[in-house]
Structure 1
Amino acid sequence: MLKTSVAIDSKLPWVGTTIFTVMSKLAADCGAINLSQGFPDFQADPALFEATLRAMRQGRNQYPPMAGMPELRTAIADKVEALYGARYDAEQEITVTAGATQAIFTAIAAFVRGGDEVIVFEPVYDSYVPAIETVGGTAVYAQLKFPAYKPDWNQVRSLVTPRTRMIIINSPHNPTGSVLDAGDLAALADLTRDTDILLLSDEVYEHIVFDGVRHISLASHPELAARSLVVSSFGKTYHITGWKIGYVIGAAELMSEFRKVHQFNVFTVNTPCQLGIADYMRLPSRHLGLAAFYQQKRDYFREQLKGSRFELLPCCGTYFQLARYAGISELPDLEFARWMTREAGVAVIPVSVFHHDGCDDRVVRFCFAKQETTLAAAGERLRRI
């Protein structure tokens, strides 16, 4: 192995390999059923592949515009208007990105400067804080407390200082499955009114909400929309996480600054896949049916865990199910997750990794975006623990 002689002053000395990579590798090494990393084990609709292949065969294989193909940006604008009653300008207010993670990093890089503070809610998805710290910002942690995982807006208000530049929200929330409601958005509007605080809203699971609950996008709230960049993901919506295509919407002035960074850290996203998705979006049922599709999987997985010693927590959205294991083990959750993978043959994610201080409520996260055969096999193993 080649060794460098260059002295390195790491910007992220505390960051190692992500827990998702670690647990997926351990699952592969042990032959365990992988319910850890959040990706489906089933194929997307062949019609999406056919639409993309048509674009390739038609010669649509060269650089697209920096902001994304007009066909896709128009399809996004139509979808957002139909769902949330807000019309975004496809030319100036929508940018196609190389997945949601790139959109989030780019938004942070565009607006957060050294010394700025960014409020995040923990358990916090693992890409937010490294992005904040890479550009010299400081993460400030609000708590979504076990077991309800709902924001305490009084606590959030107490964390706001003159250095607060941005608040990042995530709804439906990974890893907890909680969903913000109209009262939460009203509290957020009251909190940020008459400030220059920007909002970055990670809404990649926008179509995966259950039990009649409605996802309320920041795009649907005019006061919040005016100060927000809203991110979504085609990977989550159309079961194509490996395509790494998402988008961000926001007011033209905000999008102008976003694109200044976007054009130099990605520039653009591959043409035929954009065109394939644009064609596929012409049938709204393909995203509107996602809630029922995943609710069936959630309910099936929860049924599989009946008779086990896991305590299932509520799951209002996403394709993740949290469970307490206090009736099984007193191990810390990271050790328990490793034990589960090696000994029980099912890989999970320990929720403490989503806390900066390692807060451990003895809770693990299962991904149920799997075929029923996978979930049934996992259920059989989990009931034996």
Structure 2
Amino acid sequence: MYSTRMSNLPPYLFARIDEMKTEQAKKGVDIIDLGVGDPDLPTPPHIVAALCAAAQDPDNHHYPSYAGMPAYREAVASWYHKRFGVTLDASKETLALMGSKDGITHIGEAFVNPGDYVLAPSPGYPGYSTGTLFAEGKVHEMPLLRQNNFLPVLDNIPKNVARSAKLMFINYPNNPTSAVAPLSFYREVVDFATDNGIVVVSDNPYSEVAFDGYRAPSFLEAKGAMEVGVEMHSLSKTYNMTGWRIGMAVGNAEILAGLGRVKTNVDSGVFNAVQHAAIAALSGPQDCVREACTIYQERRDVLVSGLRELGFDVPAPKATFYVWMPVKDCMSFAATLLNTSGIVVTPGIGFGSSGEGYVRFAITRPVERIKEAIERMRRLDL
């Protein structure tokens, strides 16, 4: 019944985790979910108020612009200039997305022909691979290893693969490893992409979830980046708006035009009221972002300290709300935690072959629940 393309798709990791959680919950188990990275903090009130006001306006009840409201795209350009010092032409170098996943999974259809290579990090967000499979391309995994600070070694990519690759996905601050990248790495990526004629897609939704004074750069800050790539960003993590489905792609105008052409054929744009709320988020006070980071940092410290007391070698991340922990067997470890203690963590293998030997904790639950998870783990022989 299904297409060959469907048979090539792996089961979506987080959907399977949801099934496993449901099975345990039916047994009456008190689940502590440290698996999927969905913020538990509410969307800030001023953003909600902007949505409510805009939803009352009948002018917003019609089909929205495919590319996004001019006012939203101007707000995106202004935010990028203020935050990263990157100057964008809002009319050509910004594009509204229904969350960054929208752009990540559709951009391959604009640039990848059947059999073309796409360079994707491993471990990495599953959308890089699934979007490639929908475009009938071939994924070449770029291993992210601890000894390389979880940065891909571009010189290790075979020359024949590099020459036939159409896209390269990069993602820092990184999901799932929580690694960060210096601007010097982005300069290497620009040179590599220029030499091989590759379109770079920087996935940067975690730039604002940072700790200890760290400020993540944008790929577009690197000299020449605007000539070879685009960056996907999202309001989901920064403003606790995962369910709102609003984000942006910014960068090279020609690349964005290709993505935009795909999107005009597969969706009808983002609800205008949501775009008005996003304008309020990007243009309004940013205290809410700093407050959220303070909460996440406390949770990070409690989790990392507890895991270290249990004997695990866990670095404290500078950004994201993930903790990437080495274990002997990720599937066995995750299953043990869920089946014996009701704790959900994500096995690293679900993010690619180089994710084996790790599990990912999401610090998207209150400190008290994280402490409870540590106490439950303390009672196990791990």
TM over 0.5: yes
Correspondences of 1:1-385 after superposition (within 5 Å): 7-30=1-24, 31=29, 32-59=31-58, 60-146=60-146, 148-156=149-157, 158=159, 160-286=161-287, 289=290, 291-326=293-328, 332-355=329-352, 357=353, 360-361=356-357, 363-385=358-380
* Equivalent pair of 1:321/1:366 in contact (CA under 8 Å): yes
Rounded to whole Å, the distance in 1 between the matches of 2:275 and 2:369 is: 31
Offset at residue 16 of structure 1 (A): 4.1
Structure 1 position 158, deviation (Å): 4.4
Superposed CA deviations along residues 162-190 of structure 1, whole A, max 9, x for unmatched, are 21111110111110001111221122122
Cα deviation 1:318-347 (Å, max 9, x = unaligned): 111012234xxxxx3112211211102201
Relative to 1, partners in 2 of residues 1:126 and 1:227: Cα closer, same or farther, differing over 3 Å?
Answer: same
Check conservation: 2:163, 2:197, Cα contact below 8 A: no
Letter of the 1:196 counterpart:
G
CA distance in 2, matches of 1:284, 1:46: 11
Verify the 8 A CA contact 1:93 1:255 in the aligned structure 2.
yes
Distance change >3 Å, CA 138–CA 216, structure 1 → 2? same
More helix by share: 2
C-alpha separation in 2, matches of 1:85 and 1:273: 26
CA–CA distance in structure 1, aligned partners of residues 133 and 213 of structure 2: 38
Provide the rounded CA distance (Å) in 2 between the counterparts of 1:43 and 1:288. 12
How far off its partner does 1:286 sit? 4.3
CA distance in 2, matches of 1:297, 1:90: 37
Distance in 1 (CA, whole Å) between partners of 2:163 and 2:38 is 39
CA shift, 1:373, in A, is 2.7
Instruction: Summarize the Cα distance change of 1:50–1:288 in structure 2 as closer, same or farther, 3 Å threshold.
Output: closer
Aligned partner letter, 1:33 = I
**Contact 1:157 1:191 (C-alpha < 8 Å) held by counterparts:** no
Displacement after TM superposition at 1:98 (Å): 1.1
Contact 1:24 1:347 in 2 (8 A): no
Instruction: Give the deviation of 1:80 after TM superposition.
Output: 0.2
Give yes or no for contact 1:207–1:287 (8 Å, CA) kept in 2. Answer: no
TM-score with structure 2 setting the length = 0.91
SS at match of 1:96: strand
CA contact (8 A) 2:322 2:363 kept: yes
**Structure 1 gap segments, 5+ residues each:** 1-6, 327-331
User: Which secondary structure does the structure 1 equivalent of 2:21 belong to?
Assistant: helix
Provide the secondary structure at the position in 2 that maps to 1:222.
Answer: coil
Distance in 2 (CA, whole Å) between partners of 1:358 and 1:301 is 24
Q: CA offsets, 1:234-276, max 9 Å, x none?
A: 1111112111211101222222211110111122011111111
How far apart are 1:232 and its partner, in Å? 0.7
Deviation at 1:359, TM superposition (A): 5.9
The whole-number CA distance in structure 2 between the counterparts of 1:186 and 1:48 is 36
8 Å contact 2:171–2:203 — kept in the other structure?
A: yes
Provide the TM-score with structure 1 as the length reference. Answer: 0.90
* Runs of 4+ residues over 6 Å off in structure 1: none
Matched positions, count: 372
Cα shift at 1:61:
2.5
CA contact under 8 A between 1:177 and 1:314: conserved in structure 2? Answer: no
Task: For 2:157 and 2:288, locate their aligned partners in 1 and report how far apart those are by CA, in whole Å.
Answer: 33
Compare 71-80 and 192-201 and name the one that shifted more: 192-201
Deviates more, 1:209-218 or 1:258-267: 209-218
| Segment of structure 1 superposing worse, 180-189 or 75-84 | 180-189
> Following TM superposition, by how much is the alpha carbon of 1:201 offset from its aligned partner in structure 2, in angstroms?
0.6
Task: Give the SS at the match of 1:127.
Answer: helix
Amino acid at match of 2:210: V
- Between the aligned residues of both structures, percent identity stands at 25
Q: CA deviation at 1:384?
A: 2.5
| Partner SS state of residue 21, structure 1 | helix
Structure 2: stretches of 5+ with no match in the other structure: none
After superposition, give the CA deviation of every residue in 1:18-76 in whole Å (9 maximum; x if it has no partner). 22122233223323211111112232212211111011123322222111122221111
Instruction: Please state how far the C-alpha of 1:198 moved relative to its aligned partner.
Output: 0.6
Instruction: Rate the CA distance shift 1:8–1:26 in 2: closer, same or farther, 3 A.
Output: closer
Q: Kindly tell me: are residues 47 and 161 of structure 1, through their superposed partners in 2, closer, same or farther at Cα, counting changes over 3 Å?
A: closer
Residue 160 of structure 1 deviates from its aligned partner by: 4.3
Partners in 2 of 1:154 and 1:221 — Cα distance? 19
Across the aligned residues of Structure 1 and Structure 2, the Cα RMSD in angstroms comes to 2.1
